[in-house]
Structure 1
């Protein structure tokens, strides 16, 4: 396995593991939402809503991970992997922009930056694999 295929496989594994963790965290957040009732006004609804959002993100990351793991071995999956990774770069840069504008309550941007750079490196590696195979 070449270096670029190893990068794609590692990125797919990272996405896959992050998706599993996000889904597990979302289920805990959703089902433990009644515990937030006494501390925040409308805390149950807010916690359930964020749990659903995190579950959607987790499923997306899980699918991206499966595509990445398959793209490391099958050249036909490289293009969908590049599209998914490109979407993740755009979404993370948008999240950073929202933080700079003050719309997220001062959330840290380092996670968005790490995800954006990591996804961009995956795009470069997958593009190199596509060029090598031609």
Structure 2
């Protein structure tokens, strides 16, 4: 969260989190900062808490990216001895994931711009 704040100058409005992140301490900190937590509530859920619950498919894209990083790019096979080395490997894998996504979007947009150049006016066909 602090890295997000340093990068963008503010905290996010909402956080999607799994059970591991949703400790009482983290919930209290998020509430103090005014950040909405979308996660399973502690204890018996009230009607208000049910509306903040994360639907089953909402985290699928996030979990899918973790799976892609682990299976496709070897994030689950990092065996570095030092913490800094492991963090560097993880950061590199995330960078590659982002570059692959951006490259796909760039090709898509380049294709659209090339299509505009190839369009032939209807008057020239007659």
TM-score by length of 2: 0.31
TM-score, length of structure 1 as denominator length: 0.29
Q: Which has the larger radius of gyration?
A: 2
| Greater relative contact order structure (CA < 8 Å, 6+ sep) | 1
Which structure carries more strand by proportion?
2
